[in-house]
Homo-oligomer: A and B are copies of this chain.
Amino acid sequence: MTDDSSAQRSGGGEGASLTAADVARLVGGRLVGGDGGRVVRRVAPLHRAGAEELTFLAAAKYADEFRDTRAAIVLVPPALAETPGAPDAVRIVVDKPHEALLKVLPVLYAAPPRAPGIDPTARLGRGVRIGDDVTVEAYVVIGAGAVLGDRAWVESHSAVGAGVELGEDAHVYPGVTLYPGTSLGRRVAVHSGARLGSDGFGYVFGEGAHRKIPHVGRCIVEDDVEIGANTTIDRGSVDDTVIGAGTKIDNLVHIGHNCHIGKLCLIMAQVGVAGSTVVEDGAILAGQAGVGGHLRIGRGARIAAQAGVMGDVPAGATYGGYPARPHKESLRAHAAMFKIADMMKRLERLLAREDAT
């Protein structure tokens, strides 16, 4: 959100460019029948790519758009290399065009620039420690004793609680709240509006009221985690809440108190994980899935979208439906339900006849 970022990431390359030969070399692809000197400055989708723009054909279903594209360079997978169309383009054949973009985009689009320095409107509490080359933007508030590692970047309007620690190269987008008791590892990115370390939902009913259990556990986010916009992760009650290294969490996700999420997990938008649940390394939770409290999702398990998990899930399994079961069984049972609706009248007649005999 610093001054020039959009000129870069959205406006395109400010002069950066690649030739077709450069691109082929960069992505490990093969240039077929065309001018290796053709220049591109931006990447665009098939339907609006033009001169100086590179595009890609991801699947056969986009053949119509491919036919008419005015792109200058197209990346095509081997199986679709001969697809007719793209009359103005140099073709580069590469195994996975979409993944190849990972190599092209950072060259054409500079990352948002970051101007180190502490904005004069930033409010720092007593004993805050600031590493080298840190950026703290306008109207940030940082509580006493917080620690910002080298090159940490806190964007505008964020509230960093007392004693919170940010690792080197951590990046906090605008309007984030890190409650006291939170720590972020190195290269962690927290998107706008995420709330980390808020009190968990823990009450004991008595004396006519839901009495709150004070939360004194921490919220620990390990290295290389990315957390989506408006996601909430509660601090632990007595234990800690932990998000393992390299895990990626999408927008509007809820992670309850004391959860331990493993390393390299993918947790998609609007997933909810209730308190004290363990999600082992490499598990994938698809959009809007819900996982109950005090459960264990095994290593590498996959939970289908909207699944409602009410028991442990074995490592490597794929579960879906509500209550979640092995996904194939769940889809099969669902299909049976539709079939049985069609058979219902005949079944009722049959049972009536049986009863009569």
Q: Which residues of A contact B (CB under 8 A)?
A: 1-7, 9-12, 42-45, 55-56, 98-99, 101-102, 105-106, 109, 111-112, 121, 123, 125-126, 137-139, 141, 143-145, 155-157, 159, 161-164, 173-175, 177, 179-181, 191-193, 195, 198-199, 201, 203-204, 206, 208-218, 224, 226, 228-230, 232, 234-235, 238-239, 246, 248, 250-252, 254, 256, 264, 266, 268-270, 272, 274, 287-288, 290, 292, 305-306, 308, 310, 321-323, 325, 329, 331-341, 343-344, 346-348, 350-351, 354-355
Contacts and interface: CB of A to CB of B under 8 A. Distances in A.
Given A126-B3, A272-B287, A290-B306, A9 B230 contact: no
B4 A162 contact: yes
B338 A325 contact: yes
B106 A214 contact: yes
Contacts of A208: 246, 264
A267 to B, nearest CB: 9
Contact of A256 (B234, B269, B323): B269
Contact of A201 (B123, B198, B248): B248
Given A102-B214, A155-B159, A272-B287, 15 more contacts: A3-B126, A11-B163, A101-B238, A106-B214, A139-B141, A191-B195, A201-B250, A201-B251, A201-B269, A269-B274, A306-B322, A321-B322, A329-B338, A346-B351, A347-B347
A311 B348 CA distance: 28
Contacts of A288: 272, 288, 290, 308
A351 B345 CA distance: 11
Assembly stoichiometry (copies):
3
Contacts of A348: 343
Contact of A232 (B145, B230, B336): B230
A145 to B, nearest CB: 7
A251 B226 contact: no
B347 A351 contact: yes
Contacts of A10: 163, 180-181, 216-218, 235
Contact of A143 (B1, B216, B224): B1
Contacts of A9: 180-181, 214-216
A213 B143 CA distance: 34
Contacts of A224: 209
A211 B254 contact: no
Given A1-B180, A195-B191, A341-B336, A6 B254 contact: no
Interface centre among A206, A270, A335, A354 (most CB of B within 10 A): A270
A251 to B, nearest CB: 4
16 contacts: A7-B162, A10-B180, A10-B217, A11-B163, A45-B238, A45-B239, A55-B238, A101-B238, A155-B159, A177-B192, A201-B269, A252-B252, A333-B340, A334-B337, A335-B341, A336-B341
Contacts of A232: 193, 228-230, 251-252, 269
Given A6-B163, A251-B232, A180 B269 contact: no
A213 B102 contact: yes
Contact of A5 (B180, B213, B305, B351): B180
A127 to B, nearest CB: 9
